[in-house]
Chain A
Amino acid sequence: NAGVMQNPRHLVRRRGQEARLRCSPMKGHSHVYWYRQLPEEGLKFMVYLQKENIIDESGMPKERFSAEFPKEGPSILRIQQVVRGDSAAYFCASSPPSGRRETQYFGPGTRLLVL
């Protein structure tokens, strides 16, 4: 079974550009979570999505950040007009439709570097 897949693994953007991060959950998983890991900091929750629905976006910055999980295709975390402070590792996790939501399986992450 393939695990959670994220691409790209590394992304370099200049200030003001857009960054699109993709996440394909584990097969059969319908819940997706995005976390951010800033240098020297722990993982911070950003958003929790189910297919076509945002369940909890309490950790998302109010501006420039958006996330979606369409009926078909991967979940997308989109950062508009990136700034240097957005440089971080972004991790996606997924959990199955039934059972404990906190048992989350993480992807390898996308390392975003903003120049």
Chain B
Amino acid sequence: TQLLEQSPQFLSIQEGENLTVYCNSSSVFSSLQWYRQEPGEGPVLLVTVVTGGEVKKLKRLTFQFGDARKDSSLHITAAQPGDTGLYLCAGLINAGGTSYGKLTFGQGTILTVHP
């Protein structure tokens, strides 16, 4: 059972197009992170969202945390070839106790942006 479902799994688009990646769960998360991973490297943290309804922007990337804190989205405007990579969402289900710090990851979305 996958606690965090990401969609789509694969996305192939042309440079300049917009795209949205979704991360959904039936569980409530105290916070949610988005990472980007390139082949042969570790995930690089892009953003952490903690408040239901929160929206954060990072240049052409917009991250949103759902009001109920069960879902999140990543929107990229005017995608560029440099955006190509694996995008991962990860969440923290329990905010306290010994589970604090145990991230649950989605399966990832492989994005390819063609020049």
Contact = CB atoms under 8 A, between A and B. Distances in A.
Interface in A21-53: 31, 33, 35, 41-45, 48
A106 B104 contact: no
Interface in A44-97: 44-45, 48, 55-56, 58-59, 91, 93, 95
Contact of B101 (A4, A43, A104, A108): A104
A48 B88 contact: no
A58 B44 CA distance: 24
Interface of A: 4, 6, 31, 33, 35, 41-45, 48, 55-56, 58-59, 91, 93, 95, 100-109, 111
Contacts of A48: 98, 101-102
Interface residues of B, number: 28
A88 to B, nearest CB: 13
Contacts of B88: 42-43
Interface stretch (B54-62, B76-84, B105-113): B105-113
Contacts of B40: 108-109, 111
Contacts of B102: 33, 45, 48, 56, 58-59
Contacts, number: 78
A106 B43 contact: yes
Given A55-B98, A56-B101, A101-B101, A42 B107 contact: yes
B68 interface: no
Contacts of B91: 102
A18 B18 CA distance: 47
A55 B106 contact: no
B64 interface: no
